[in-house]
C-alpha cells in the first residue's frame, strides 16, 4: 500500500511563524512535524510515500527528508501550487496512485500514538471503498462528526451545532482508486475549496465508508496551543524512553 502525506497549505493559524517556514517543518519535540507522519507510515510497512508540499520551504524539505533513506522509504515530492483544499491537493496524487491501488492519506499536522499496521491490514481486506479513523473528543462541534450506522458511516457533518456522535474524523484516511473520480465530481465549497468531507460523503452514500477508532493520543497540531501540547507530550515520551 502506498502513502500520501499532505504537507502544503498556508498554515494561517500559526502565523507569523509560517510566513517564513512551512508549518510541517516547525519543531515538535526533537524533530520537525513532518518527521512523525513519515515515521508512522514506515513503521506500518508503507515504503512508497508521496509528499505534497508547497513551494515555500521546498529546499528545506529536500534537505531534511531527502530520498527517504533515513526512514527506510522512497519519497516522491509534488508541489501544490494552489491552496484549494484537502481534496484538491489529493487530486495531485493521481498517477502516483494507480486506479487499482489502495492507499493511506495523512494530513501532516496530525500526530498520534497508534500504530497504523492493523488499520491498514483491515482496509486491505475491505473489498472496496474508503475507511477513516475516528477519535472520541470532548467538543466534537469543532470537527467533522460522523453519523454512525453499524460498522459504517452514514454521513459526516462539518462542525455541527448538534453532533450526532462524540467522535471526530481525524486526518487519517484510506481510499481505493475511485477517489480521483469522486474528486472530479465535487464542486468548491463556499470557502472556494474542494472539501474532503464531500468526497467521504460520496463513499458514505455508496455504503462503502467504514471506520475504526484510534485508541491512543491524537492531536491536530495546527494551532499554537495544540503545537505546544504536542511538543510537551512527545518530549515527555522521549524522557521516559518510549
Each residue of 189-219: pLDDT tens digit?
A: 988 899 999 999 999 999 999 999 999 999 9
Q: How far apart are CA 161 and CA 10, in angstroms?
A: 27
Task: Judge contact between 86 and 158, C-beta under 8 A.
Answer: no
Q: How far apart are CA 77 and CA 61, in angstroms?
A: 9
What is the pLDDT, as a whole number, of residue 17?
73
DSSP labels for 61-77?
Answer: HHHHHTTSGGGTSEEEE
| Mean pLDDT value of segment 55-83 | 93
Exposure string of 86-125, with b = 16+ CB inside 10 Å and e = fewer, is: bbbbbbbbeebbeeeebbbbbbbbbbbebebeebbeebee
Q: Which of the four pLDDT bands, split at 50, 70 and 90, describes residue 18?
A: confident
Phi, psi at 219, each rounded to 5°:
-150, 155
Quote the percentage of the chain above a pLDDT of 90.
75
Residue 242 has pLDDT above 70, yes or no: no
Residue 234's CB is within 10 A of a number of other CB atoms, namely 21
Question: Which stretches within the chain are classed as H helix?
Answer: 33-43, 58-65, 86-90, 117-125, 179-185, 196-206, 224-239
Q: Which of 50, 43, 87, 103 is nearest to 181 (CA)?
A: 87
Q: Element (H or E) spanning 104, and its range?
A: strand 103-107
**Mutual orientation of helices 58-65 and 33-43 as an angle, nearest 10°?**
40
What is the pLDDT, as a whole number, of residue 124?
97
Residue 58 has pLDDT above 80, yes or no: yes
Q: Which of the four pLDDT bands, split at 50, 70 and 90, describes residue 181?
A: very high
What is the pLDDT, as a whole number, of residue 241?
63
Quote the percentage of the chain above a pLDDT of 70.
98
- Rounded to two decimals, the pTM is 0.94
The two most distant CA atoms of the chain are separated, in Å, by 48
Determine which of 21-25, 77-81, 107-111, 158-162 has the lowest per-residue pLDDT on average: 21-25
Q: How far apart are CA 5 and CA 191, in angstroms?
A: 22
Q: How far apart are CA 104 and CA 81, in angstroms?
A: 22
Each residue of 112-163: pLDDT tens digit?
A: 999 999 999 999 999 999 999 999 999 899 899 999 999 999 999 999 999 9
What is the pLDDT, as a whole number, of residue 233?
87
Residue 11 has pLDDT above 90, yes or no: no
Task: Judge contact between 171 and 106, C-beta under 8 A.
Answer: yes
Amino acid at each position: 500500500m502506498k502513502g500520501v502525506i499532505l504537507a502544503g497549505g498556508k498554515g494561517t493559524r500559526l502565523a507569523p511563524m509560517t510566513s517564513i517556514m512551512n508549518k510541517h517543518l516547525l519543531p515538535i519535540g526533537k524533530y520537525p512535524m513532518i518527521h512523525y507522519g513519515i515515521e508512522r507510515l514506515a513503521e506500518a510497512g508503507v515504503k512508497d510515500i508521496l509528499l505534497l508540499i508547497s513551494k515555500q520551504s521546498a529546499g528545506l524539505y529536500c534537505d531534511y527528508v531527502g530520498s527517504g533513506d533515513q526512514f527506510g522509504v522512497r519519497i516522491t515530492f509534488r508541489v501544490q501550487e494552489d491552496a484549494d483544499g484537502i481534496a484538491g491537493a489529493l487530486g495531485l496524487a493521481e498517477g502516483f496512485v494507480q486506479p487499482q491501488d489502495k492507499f493511506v492519506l495523512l494530513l501532516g499536522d496530525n500526530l498520534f500514538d497508534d500504530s497504523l499496521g492493523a488499520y491498514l491490514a483491515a482496509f486491505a481486506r475491505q473489498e472496496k471503498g474508503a475507511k477513516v479513523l475516528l477519535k472520541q473528543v470532548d467538543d466534537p462541534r469543532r470537527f467533522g462528526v460522523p453519523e454512525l450506522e453499524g460498522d459504517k458511516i452514514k454521513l459526516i457533518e462539518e462542525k455541527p451545532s448538534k453532533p450526532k456522535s462524540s467522535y471526530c474524523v481525524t486526518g487519517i484516511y484510506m481510499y481505493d482508486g475511485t477517489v480521483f473520480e469522486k474528486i472530479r465530481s465535487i464542486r468548491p465549497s463556499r470557502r472556494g475549496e474542494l472539501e474532503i468531507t464531500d468526497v467521504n460523503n460520496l463513499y458514505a452514500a455508496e455504503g462503502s465508508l467504514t471506520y475504526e477508532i484510534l485508541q491512543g493520543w491524537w492531536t491536530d497540531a495546527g494551532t499554537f496551543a495544540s503545537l505546544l501540547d504536542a511538543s510537551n507530550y512527545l518530549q515527555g515520551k522521549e524522557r521516559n524512553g518510549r
